Every structure is written in structure tokens, then in C-alpha cells.
Structure 1
Amino acid sequence: MSIYDDDDVVRALGVVVDEGRGTLPYRLVHGESLVACAAWALGEAGVDIVDASVPWAGLVESGSDLVLHDPLCPMTPAAFIATCLRLAREGDRPVVGVRPVTDTVKAVAGGVVGRTLDRDAMLAVTSPLVVPAAVLSRLPGRPVPDLARTVSDLAAAGHEVQTVQAPPEGRRVTSSDELRLLEVLTTPQG
């Protein structure tokens, strides 16, 4: 599953981004915390996990690609993370997992609900976000914990961000109900 078949390949560094997510990352799915599931997926993808307290300069100086993984996408398969890392390296550009938008989205202006927006033209950022070392070295500082905002910031800075559709089990959860749905979705059938 890992992309590291060659001993000469520099391993990527990964951070499980739990900042600003409340207590939900510490809830359980299949008996394990969402944070633990996210960390295991990074490890299984061949990514070396670093603590969020590692200084920004240390991450840049490592010369490694950086994989940001949202623990609210705890069941993202390791193979998908490894694919995103491979694509980021091949294209030398950031790569982010996305899911289709399925909710109805309305425009709001001046406190008035307006027209329905075309959800086919929208994507929901999930996980991971892979930032290649060459791009990482040009960033002014540590990416913000909000992966969607980081993707927007990267694009605004002129970086082409490749989107890759995440599998259904890679969806992001934001509530207890969504977490229960993810657990049902990822329960092995037997």
C-alpha cells in the first residue's frame, strides 16, 4: 500500500490536524478515536507522522512533502492517501481529496435566502491535502487547520491544486449523526 518501495525515496511528513475541531475527533468509530484512525491511515500510507508542535521551519527544512489529514475524515483509506501523495509528487502540485456536494445550497444576500446554487459545480474538501516540498518551501507559513481554506489560499497564491474524488468512506463528519452513518458505511459486510 505504501509508495515507498525504494529506500532512496524521501518519506513524506504527515500531521493529523485536530485543531479547531472540538471534541468530535476524540469520539469513537469502530471502537477507536477518529484521531487514532486518521493517524493509522497515515502510517499505513507510509507517511511519518509529526506532532503539530514541530516548528514550521523544521517542516520546510526537512525537504519532505507534507500530508495534512483531517481526523473528521477518519476512515479515509491509506491507499487513497498514498495515491494523493504519488499524484502530488508526479505533478509537483498540491493534491486534495474531495467529495461531491449532495446538500441543497442556497445563495444568501442581505439576510435573504435566494436562488439554489448548482451543486454539480461544487466540491466538498475532505482529506488528505498533500503539499509537495517545492510548494511547501514557497509558503509564507504553516497552513491553517481549515483544509478548505488552505486549498483556497494555495489557489490564490497561484498554485494549481489538483482535486481527486475521495471514496465514500473518506467523507468528512461534522456531527454524531454523520459519525453513526460513517460507521454503518464502513462496517465490513460478512
Structure 2
Amino acid sequence: MSTDDTDEPTPSLGTVVDEARGSLPYLLIHGESLVACAAWALGDARVTAVDLGTQWAGLVDSGEPFVVHDSLCPMTPAAFIADCVERAVTSGHVVVGVADDGAVLSPVVLPASVVAGLDELPSADFEALLARLADSFTVERVVAPASAARVASADDVAALEARTTPASDETA
């Protein structure tokens, strides 16, 4: 998973964005809040979580990539997040998960060189963030698995839950 072919992931920092999303991040999917599911995926990807209010200078000083994960993409697989981190580290490009149609999903991974080139995170809105980043940096779009879908309503949450429920091996 890491650039030196060991089992250790590339050290990285990250955050789950839930601001300016109303109460939607706190709806339940599979019995847990969307924001909790997104945070667990970040942790399972071995990304060290930091608060969105963390001083940007501290992120720069860490020399690590920074992962921005959206609570509205709660079922994004940890393996996909980890792959995006590796791609960003290897290429030096901003890496973003997108849908088949190109719609922005999650995560957005800033390699350490991009973190160092910014004074702060330009926006917590993913579309606006990518627009700002694309002005100065190369952005690599990677098609995310269907489970990484973005939700915009309670109906979307219910549909995502139905799509991400493992099939039962039991017979009726």
C-alpha cells in the first residue's frame, strides 16, 4: 500500500467535513451516523484524523499529505481512500474521487507539496475546492466505486444503505 512496498501505509493526515451540510451528516446508515461512517473509513485507511480547525501551519510542518473526506460520501471504502493517498504521493497531484459521470465525490487528497503551497484549505465545498485547486495544481480524477456515492437527501441515504447492505446467505 505504501511507496516503499511495506505493509505500512503512507503517513497522512485528514479530516471529515460535516460543516455547511445541515443535519444530513447525522442521519443513520446501517445504524450509524453518516459522519461516523466516514470517520471510520478514514481511520481504516490509516489516515490520522485532525480537526478541520487545525492550524494549517501544523499540516504544512507535518510534511504529510492531507485527505479531505466528505461526510456525505459515508460509504467510501477505506481501500479507495488509501489508494487515492498513494496516487497523490506518487504523482504529486491532487487526487479526487469522482462518479462515472465525473461528478465530484470523495476523497480529495492533497500531496504534501500542495499543502505547503496553500495558506489554508480554500473551501469545505468540494466543487469549489477543486475549482480553486485546479487553478494552480494538477488534479487527477479517479473513478470511485459505486458505494462512494454522495447523498443529498434522506431518500439518497436509504438508497445507499440498500445498495451497500451485504447480500444474505440465508434462504427465505
TM-score, shorter chain, exceeding 0.5: yes
2:127 to 145, 148, 152: 148
1:172 maps to which residue? 150
Residue 188 of structure 1, CA deviation = 0.5
**Alignment gaps of 5+ in structure 2:** none
**Structure 1, unaligned runs of 5 or more:** 102-122
Amino-acid identity (%): 51
Q: 1:3 to 1:10 in 2, by over 3 A?
A: closer
Q: How many residues align?
A: 166
TM-score by length of 2: 0.91
The residue number in structure 1 matching 2:117 is: 138
Aligned to 2:72: 72
Number of the residue aligned with 2:53: 53
Q: Residue 100 of structure 1: SS of its match in structure 2? A: coil
Q: How far off is 1:151 after superposition?
A: 0.9
Which has more radius of gyration?
Answer: 1
CA contact (8 A) 1:3 1:45 kept: no
Cα distance change, pair 31–132 in 1 and its aligned pair in 2 (3 A): same
C-alpha root-mean-square deviation of aligned residues, in Å? 1.5
Give a deviation string over 1:99-130, Cα, whole Å, max 9, x none.
033xxxxxxxxxxxxxxxxxxxxx11000000
* Residue of structure 2 in register with 1:124 after alignment: 103
Question: Which segments of structure 1 move beyond 3 Å, counting only runs of 4 or more?
Answer: 2-7
SS in 1 for 2:99: strand
Distance 1:44 1:124 in 2: 25
**Partner Cα distance (2:46, 2:24) in 1:** 26
Residue 118 of structure 1 corresponds to none
